[in-house]
């Protein structure tokens, strides 16, 4: 993962309006023209069948290796640390501007390092490869050997189709505010943006541009220094001020669609919803004198029949390992407590998602079991106190070996020393959410429908 902080970003300051609201709107110290239109609404994108590659001239090296190498070839390739690792060629292209027939030795290859995650796939040349080790891939043998633990819960056929469509990253870098981030995965941006290696995002409106000059013109016009929607939470902790905005996908469709485009660059198996009307988005921001800076977000269905309290979650790479991911999970359950509804994240969970959630569930459940003032008699009691689904409680306690099944009922077996050890292994709670700072009214579908009819 590569994140760079840009030091030449212009600084704009604002001051707070005086008023009774705890979450007053910021007032800029400078005036600006009216906001521009930004990006147009994106069309519904359908994967286009790949055109057959034009015939290319091939040569055979002294070692009997054909160049350019075929897609599917396995070869040893040099990694950043200088060591050689096995890779598989996923795609190839002529290097640079070629006139006439491409030169076989000057092809670039998009490779997957078989021991690493897909987000580390990259373009290389034969200079980084041990060409002598090249061998044609046996597709049947590879499928038999493949065992992807990270996506074990996903349907294998859907997984293969997804990886075929998204196998090559189209956008390599994004600039968002003061941060330049290397992307991890493919995202289906509108066709006119797919040839760009780097996109420039406005960190307040999430409009994106091909060139830095376009972004700068947009920033001179924009009057927004925070996401749209309603600010429902703000608190200062560890010297940082964090704020949450609730954004209705129906009311602020363009912002939410652009947020999905951005998120897909860092999420592998996220389904990109163009019909964002059915979702609420909760955007986490860091607040300073320059405005509100997007840290991450989670989304949830307005009305989930399965009781899901979270559909998708992301912490941007520039803000990872700072406790914000744990804060997003914790905040989703604080909303569930406010609603009085038991919640659970949408399935399937990736292995990393399961680790994050299991850490949260462990800390919440064991903190209650450890507290002698809490009169916990059953799994149902734990669920009512935490709004964690009973199935998640059972699986977590079983994972910790704190649950036994005796005479047709579950029995919690939790010694104080064992609880302390598990709490220590679960790690810190990250940035803590203060429920007293949450000013929020749950979504009312009946009221929305009445407004629609009226």
Contact 286, 292 (CB under 8 A): yes
Mean pLDDT check: name the lowest of 32-41, 48-57, 427-436: 32-41
End-to-end CA distance of the chain: 50
Confidence of residue 50 (pLDDT cuts 50, 70, 90): very low
Residue 130 phi, psi dihedral angles, 5° rounding:
-95, 90
Indicate the range of 14-28, 140-154, 181-195 predicted with least confidence.
14-28
pLDDT of residue 454: 54
Report pLDDT for 241: 96
Indicate if the pLDDT at residue 54 is higher than 70.
no
| pLDDT at residue 83 tops 90 | yes
pLDDT of residue 31: 33
Helix (H) or strand (E) run with residue 121 in it: none
Q: Region 86-110: what's the mean pLDDT?
A: 82
User: Using one digit for the tens of pLDDT, what is the confidence trace for 374-431?
Assistant: 877 789 999 999 999 999 999 999 999 998 887 777 888 878 889 999 999 999 999 9
The SS3 of residue 85 is strand
Q: What integer pLDDT is reported at residue 325 of this predicted model? A: 94
- Tokens 């954004």 locate to 247
Q: Which of 346, 364, 384, 417 is catalytic?
A: 346
The mean per-residue pLDDT over the stretch 302-308 comes to 93
For residue 158, CA distances in Å to 47, 152, 154, 275 come to: 14, 12, 7, 21
Q: Which residues contact 292 (CB under 8 A, 6 or more apart)?
A: 204, 225, 226, 227, 243, 245, 285, 286
Residue given tokens 């077996």 in the structure block: 413
Contacts of 337 (CB under 8 A, 6+ apart): 387, 435
Q: Is cis: bond before 454, omega within 30 of 0?
A: no
Specify the pLDDT at position 271: 56
Distance CA 200, CA 408 (A): 59
**Mean pLDDT to the nearest integer, 339-355:** 88
Share of residues in the chain with pLDDT > 70 (%): 78
Mean of the pLDDT values across residues 140-166? 55
Residues 241-254: pLDDT tens digits? 999 999 999 999 99
Supply the pLDDT for residue 45.
39
Strand-pair category, 230-237 with 240-248: antiparallel
**Cα–Cα distance for residue pair 398/125, rounded to 1 Å:** 49
Reply yes or no on whether 346 is catalytic. yes
| Angle value at C-alpha 190, between 286 and 102, nearest 5 degrees | 115
- Closest of 440, 431, 119, 438 to residue 295, by C-alpha: 431
> Is residue 123 over pLDDT 50?
yes
Range with the poorest average pLDDT among 48-52, 173-177, 327-331, 414-418: 48-52
Q: Which residues touch 236 (CB under 8 Å, ≥6 apart)?
A: 242
pLDDT of residue 181 exceeding 90: yes
The CA distances from residue 383 to 156, 340, 360, 390, 412, in Å, are 33, 11, 14, 6, 14
Residues 43 and 191: beta-carbon distance below 8 Å: no
Query: Which segment of 19-28, 351-360, 417-426 scores lowest on mean pLDDT?
Result: 19-28
Residue with the bigger pLDDT between 165 and 391: it is 391
Residue 43: what pLDDT? 39
State the average pLDDT over residues 77-96. 90
Residue 33 has a pLDDT of 36
pLDDT exceeds 60 at position 308: yes
What is the pLDDT confidence band of residue 255, given thresholds at 50, 70 and 90? very high
Q: Which of 81-95, 180-194, 264-278, 405-419 has the lowest mean pLDDT?
A: 264-278
Q: Give the Cα separation of 259 and 270 in Å (integer).
A: 12
Residue 12 pLDDT > 70, yes or no? no
- Lowest pLDDT segment from 35-39, 170-174, 303-307, 424-428: 35-39
Average pLDDT, the chain: 82
Report pLDDT for 4.
72
pLDDT digits (tens, 9 = 90+) for 260-278: 999 999 987 655 556 899 9
Distance CA 272, CA 280 (A): 14
């Amino acid at each position: 993962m590569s994140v760079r902080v840009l030091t030449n970003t212009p600084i704009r300051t604002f001051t707070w309006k005086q008023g009774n609201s705890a979450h007053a709107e910021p007032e800029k110290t400078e005036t600006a023209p009216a906001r521009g239109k930004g990006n147009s609404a994106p069309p519904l994108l359908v994967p286009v069948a790949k055109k057959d590659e034009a015939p290319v001239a091939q040569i055979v090296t002294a070692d009997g290796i054909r160049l350019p190498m075929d897609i599917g070839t396995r070869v040893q390739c040099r990694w950043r640390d200088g060591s050689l690792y096995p890779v598989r060629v996923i795609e190839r292209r002529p290097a640079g501007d070629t006139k006439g027939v491409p030169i076989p030795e000057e092809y670039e290859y998009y490779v997957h390092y078989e021991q690493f995650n897909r987000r580390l796939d990259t373009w290389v040349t034969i200079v980084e490869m041990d060409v002598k080790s090249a061998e044609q891939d046996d597709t049947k043998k590879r499928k038999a050997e493949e065992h992807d633990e990270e996506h074990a819960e996903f349907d294998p056929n859907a997984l293969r189709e997804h990886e075929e469509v998204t196998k090559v990253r189209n956008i390599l870098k994004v600039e968002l505010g003061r941060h330049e981030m290397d992307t991890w995965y493919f995202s289906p941006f509108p066709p006119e943006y797919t040839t760009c290696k780097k996109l420039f995002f406005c960190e307040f409106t999430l409009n994106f541009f091909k060139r830095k000059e376009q972004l700068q013109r947009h920033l001179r016009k924009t009057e927004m220094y925070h996401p749209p929607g309603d600010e429902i939470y703000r608190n200062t902790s560890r010297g940082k001020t964090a704020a949450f905005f609730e954004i209705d996908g129906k009311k602020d469709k363009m912002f939410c669609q652009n947020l999905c485009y951005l998120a897909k660059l860092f999420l592998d198996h996220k389904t990109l919803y163009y019909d964002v009307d059915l979702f609420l988005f909760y955007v986490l921001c860091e607040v300073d004198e320059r405005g509100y800076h997007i840290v991450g977000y989670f989304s949830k269905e307005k009305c989930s029949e399965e009781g899901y309290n979270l559909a998708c979650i992301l912490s941007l790479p520039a803000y990872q390992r700072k406790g914000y991911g744990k804060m997003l999970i914790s905040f989703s359950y604080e909303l569930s407590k406010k609603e009085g509804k038991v919640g659970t994240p949408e399935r399937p969970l990736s292995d990393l998602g399961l680790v994050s959630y299991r850490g949260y569930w462990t800390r919440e459940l064991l903190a209650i079991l450890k507290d002698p003032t809490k009169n916990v008699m059953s799994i149902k009691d734990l669920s009512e106190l935490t709004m964690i689904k009973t199935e998640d409680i059972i699986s977590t306690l079983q994972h910790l070996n704190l649950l036994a099944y005796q005479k047709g009922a579950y029995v919690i077996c939790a010694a104080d020393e064992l609880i302390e050890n598990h709490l220590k292994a679960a790690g810190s709670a990250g940035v803590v959410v203060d429920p007293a700072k949450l000013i929020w009214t749950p979504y009312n579908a009946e009221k929305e429908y009445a407004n629609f009819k009226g």
